[in-house]
Structure 1
């Protein structure tokens, strides 16, 4: 410090009477602090000026249609008003599965069912069954006429639904019957092709006719009363009907107190219906076991024909 500064303090002290002045060291510290404050203020002013220039430049670029620059790293961005959904990481979140057996996104191939076979229009000879060798008599012939017995006033089935019908008559014998003995019974066997969807109508009409005719007198059979009833048909073809006709033997025929029994089985295979009407032989009665066995043969012959 120069010698003039103490002298100046002394002269100032005399001028301000008895007031005590701050020592020179304290004055110098205050001067240094004021100088630092001026430097910091100048730096802040320069920073504010540079920031204003940068922001102004971005606003000018945005007004010209140019994509604005991102804000400075130390400038907080705007607070978002909506949240952006994030993909779920839950195990249950999985893409939709594709149809079984096809790649994802590939439509399944169109399924094609088997072509529906066309119904037959004619009946060949091979559609008729052949008796077992032990039951053959060699008595067989073609016949015409109704395939079923009359049942009161019923008219069945509708002939307008028939495409073709063929019939035959054949006699059979019991197994083990010696040569030269009379047959044990006979069949009126018919096969009918119905129009598509009408064969089941024929069986339905037949069941209704049997139920509606529990008994009747046949005009060509004297005064005998025949009783009709449905029986358990068993499993034959697509569906079947079995009914019996029962009447007392005429005087002097058959065992006293016994009935003569006729059995009629009707089987549908698709649009084809086969009928076995057991008619006996000289007042013999039908046996269920024989009719069942021949019914199976009749169904098998038609299935072989239709395959």
Structure 2
């Protein structure tokens, strides 16, 4: 043991180790392995690595002390700090790829504003949209101060389209047919009313006229009991209807003749887009209206409305 204590290489080895390493050299090889195993079982990774270095140092010293008292060179110590075994690598989850922002801005949502080709509601009805003085053939035409309301049927007839009315105007003309001799009495009194509706009001109005005939096969014209019949379409405009209303014939004094004869007057309605021209004949001095003449006037009125609207 005297040779070991005087060997300078051994002293350099001891001085290069930490206090724990010096204490580990005093233990035997089996004891070092037992304690090293216990430390690993306790999960102390850094301490286990230090123990491994101590064992290696002890083995190296053993080689230096062996060989029949012959000196064995030790490798130079490069660091006084113990080498710690690297911990097992842990694979961390990779971050999700981040997409680079697009340089193209998102498209704007389509506009929800509905578009329509319907013309706007006019401020008034021009004279050219109505029947004219020349077409009366008597020269007698009067524009009414207020537009006429819906025709008279019975209490069951309803006209909710009146709430969609935009603007309206009426004229009254004293009518003489083209076949009547000059200077003869007029044939009829006719009211022409043009109404422009909002939304679907014009279509609704025509539907309500037809429905009124169904609900009111019998009704009133003033104080007279009347009958109503739908004569069908006139074949004019976008849609049309001709309605006959009749009552017991009256004499010159306005009294019922009581002979079974009846007097007929007519309602003719023609729709062009959002507007309706409606003709109501009343007869002249208790005379009946002529259906053929009313159909001719309805065609002229439809042309006026189509040219304007």
TM bucket (normalised to shorter chain) is 0.5 to 0.7
Candidates 296, 304, 308, aligned match of 1:305: 308
Structure 1: which 5+ runs fail to align?
A: 1-113
Candidates 158, 161, 166, aligned match of 1:163: 166
Corresponding position of 2:240: 240
1:285-307 CA-to-partner distances (Å, cap 9, x unmatched) read 1111111111111011111112x
Distance 1:172 1:195 in 2: 32
Kept after mapping to 2: 8 A contact 1:147/1:188? no
Distance 1:120 1:295 in 2: 23
Matches within 5 A, 1:1-307: 116-121=117-122, 122-130=124-132, 136-143=137-144, 144-153=146-155, 154-218=157-221, 220-221=222-223, 224-250=224-250, 256-306=259-309
TM-score by length of structure 1 reads: 0.56
Q: How many residue pairs align between the two structures?
A: 189
Query: 1:257 Cα shift?
Result: 3.0
Query: 1:123 Cα shift?
Result: 1.6
Label 1:163 to 1:276 Cα distance change in 2 as closer, same or farther (>3 A): same
Kept after mapping to 2: 8 A contact 1:243/1:263? yes
Query: 1:236 Cα shift?
Result: 0.8
Structure 2: which 5+ runs fail to align?
A: 1-114
TM-score by length of structure 2 reads: 0.56
Distance 1:204 1:287 in 2: 25
Kept after mapping to 1: 8 A contact 2:133/2:141? no
Corresponding position of 1:49: none
Distance 1:216 1:194 in 2: 27
1:70-89 CA-to-partner distances (Å, cap 9, x unmatched) read xxxxxxxxxxxxxxxxxxxx
More off after superposition, 231-240 vs 155-164: 155-164
Kept after mapping to 2: 8 A contact 1:216/1:226? yes
Query: 1:132 Cα shift?
Result: 6.3
The alignment partner of 2:183 has SS state of: coil
Label 1:157 to 1:180 Cα distance change in 2 as closer, same or farther (>3 A): farther
Alpha-carbon RMSD across the aligned residues, in angstroms, is 2.4
Kept after mapping to 1: 8 A contact 2:266/2:280? yes
Label 1:217 to 1:172 Cα distance change in 2 as closer, same or farther (>3 A): closer
The alignment partner of 2:170 has SS state of: strand
Corresponding position of 1:92: none
1:142-171 CA-to-partner distances (Å, cap 9, x unmatched) read 223534321111232532201101001001
Kept after mapping to 2: 8 A contact 1:119/1:196? no
